[in-house]
């Protein structure tokens, strides 16, 4: 499936039906894909959740009508699926910083939220590097936070989550005796939010920490078991990609996700499964710092 073409067709559909009821179930049905995959791909490619994009486009079109027609605020509110002029005014004020009546009376030059246009990237001289890996059941210890908002907001939430939970990260590194490797997991994805874990993998052949050793540790330190939760991922097949080596590879993840969806997936024989995204981060230090990858 060409996701760029699919999402662009979805945007066209939204534009034609802005004054009607629109939700992710309807749009996913139009694309013949699951709601889960549709919501996630739309967010990655557009930078907005479906609901946020529809709200902003409606408010932008409503602003144009306020300033260029004689329709009342209530008529415009109802046209764009608001229950009342009050609910419309609250949304308008939150978006533009002024009441609709003020914007109309003073002809304020409010910026429009433009219709989304997606473009195919030029073919790269070198194809994306990846390999297919079948992984056995994987065991993680980690802690999570649920992030919400548009994707750019969530990126900032991820960054702050890393910055303000150093103690938990150091504890995980100590438990698995590995200071250079960490994991992030994304699950529970909905249109508006997802669960984001910072984690460490354990109970595998290359790790000192086995399940038995972990049980022995928490017998003496039960607070550790309260700090972390266990995440078990069943055996599955993964497509594995790497970011370009750099000081902070976490900043490259969003672009890598877009490239996977727009450059690799359309020409591959694979389909996305509804599962957990796993990212392994190599935090090399010293002279190796610039070789860090995800």
Identify the pLDDT of residue 1. Answer: 66
Dihedral, CA atoms, 60, 65, 66, 68, nearest 10 degrees? 120
- Residue 278, CA distances (Å) to 134, 156, 172, 216, 232 in order: 13, 19, 17, 27, 12
User: What CATH architecture applies to the domain 3-106?
Assistant: Orthogonal Bundle (1.10)
**Within its chain, how far is the Cα of 65 from the centroid?**
33
- Residue range 130-291, CATH number: 3.20.80.10
Sign of the Cα torsion 160, 162, 163, 167 reads: positive
Q: What is the pLDDT along the chain (294 residues), one digit of tens a residue?
A: 688 888 889 999 999 999 999 988 889 888 888 888 888 888 888 888 888 899 999 999 999 999 889 999 999 999 999 999 999 999 999 999 999 999 888 888 888 899 988 876 545 445 678 899 999 999 999 999 999 877 778 888 999 999 999 999 999 999 999 999 999 999 988 878 899 999 999 999 999 999 999 999 999 999 999 999 999 999 999 999 999 899 988 888 888 888 888 788 877 778 778 889 999 999 888 888 898 989
**Which string of b and e fits 71-83 if b means at least 16 CB within 10 Å?**
eebeebbbbbbbe
Q: Where in the chain is the domain with CATH 3.20.80.10?
A: 130-291
- For residue 293, what is the DSSP state? B
- Residue 184, CA distances (Å) to 215, 226, 259, 279, 280 in order: 23, 19, 19, 5, 7
Rounded CA gap, 178 and 170, in Å? 10
Q: Where in the chain is the domain with CATH 1.10.10.60?
A: 3-106
Identify the pLDDT of residue 165. Answer: 96
Residues 6+ apart with CB under 8 A from 263: 121, 124, 128
Sign of the Cα torsion 37, 95, 11, 261 reads: negative
């Amino acid at each position: 499936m060409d996701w760029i073409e699919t999402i662009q067709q979805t945007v066209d559909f939204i534009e034609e039906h802005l004054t009607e009821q629109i939700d992710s179930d309807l749009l996913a049905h139009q694309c013949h894909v699951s709601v889960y995959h549709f919501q996630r791909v739309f967010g990655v490619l557009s930078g907005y959740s479906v609901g946020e994009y529809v709200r902003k486009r409606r408010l932008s079109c409503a602003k144009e009508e306020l300033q260029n027609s004689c329709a009342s605020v209530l008529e415009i509110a109802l046209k764009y699926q608001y229950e009342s002029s009050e609910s419309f005014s609250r949304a308008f004020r939150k978006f533009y910083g002024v009441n609709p009546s003020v914007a109309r009376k003073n002809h304020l030059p409010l910026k429009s939220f433009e219709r989304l246009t997606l473009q195919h990237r030029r073919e790269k001289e070198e194809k994306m590097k990846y390999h297919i890996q079948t992984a056995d059941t994987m065991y993680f210890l980690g802690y999570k936070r649920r992030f919400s908002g548009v994707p750019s907001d969530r990126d900032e939430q991820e960054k702050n989550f890393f910055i303000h939970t150093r103690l938990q990260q150091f504890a995980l590194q100590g438990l698995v005796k590995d200071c250079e490797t960490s994991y992030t997991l994304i699950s529970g994805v909905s249109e508006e939010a997802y669960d984001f874990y910072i984690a460490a993998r354990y109970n595998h052949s290359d790790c000192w920490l086995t399940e038995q050793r972990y049980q022995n540790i928490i017998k003496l330190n039960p607070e550790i078991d309260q700090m972390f939760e266990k995440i078990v991922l069943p055996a599955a097949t993964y497509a594995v990609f790497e970011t370009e080596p750099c000081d902070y590879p976490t900043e490259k993840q969003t672009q890598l996700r877009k490239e996977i969806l727009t450059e690799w997936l359309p020409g591959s024989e694979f389909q996305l499964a509804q599962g957990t995204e796993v990212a392994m981060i190599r935090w090399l230090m010293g002279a190796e710092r610039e070789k860090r990858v995800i």
